[in-house]
Amino acid sequence: MTQDSQPDPLDETQPIEPAAADVGRYAPTPEPRPDTRWAWASAASQTPTPWASAATATGAASVGDVPPPPEATPAGGFGGSSVPPPSPVTPAPSPRRQGGAGIGAVVAASLLSAVLASSGTVFVLRQTGAFTGPATSAPQANPSAGTGNPVSINESSAVIAAAAATSPAVVKLTVTAQGTDPFGTGQSEGVGSGVLYEATGWILTNKHVVNGATKIVVELKDGRTFDGRVYGIDTYTDLAIVKIDATGLPVAALGKSDDLKVGQLVIAIGSPLGTYSFSVTSGIVSAKGRELTEGTARITNLIQTDAAINPGNSGGPLVDAAGNVVGINTAVATDSSGIGFAIPIDIARPIMNQALKGETLARPYIGVRYNTITLQLKTALGLSVDNGALIGSGDGTGNGVTAGGPADKAGLKDGDILLAINGAQLNQEHPLDAMLVQHAPNEVVTLDVLRAGATIKVQLTLGVRPTNLQ
Residues marked active site are found at: 208, 238, 314
**Rg value, the chain, Cα:** 37
3-state helix vs strand vs coil in the chain, percent to 5: 20, 30, 50
Please, what's the b/e burial string for 199-226 (b: 16 or more CB within 10 A of its CB; e: otherwise)?
A: eebbbbbbbbbbeebeebbbbbeeeeeb
79 sits in the region (left: phi over 0; alpha: psi -120 to 50; else beta) called: left
Q: How far apart are CA 322 and CA 267, in angstroms?
A: 10
Cα(282)–Cα(268) distance, integer angstroms: 6
For residue 267, count CB atoms less than 10 angstroms from its CB and return exposed for 0-12, middle for 13-18, buried for 19 or more. Answer: buried
Do 247 and 201 touch, CB atoms closer than 8 A? yes
Nearest to 460 by CA among 364, 347, 349, 369: 364
Q: Judge whether 261 and 331 are in contact, CB under 8 Å.
A: no
Instruction: Name 420's bridge partners.
Output: 425, 448
Identify residue 297 by its one-letter amino acid code: A
Give the H/E segment covering residue 171.
strand 170-181
Separation between Cα atoms, residue 226 and residue 371, nearest integer Å: 46
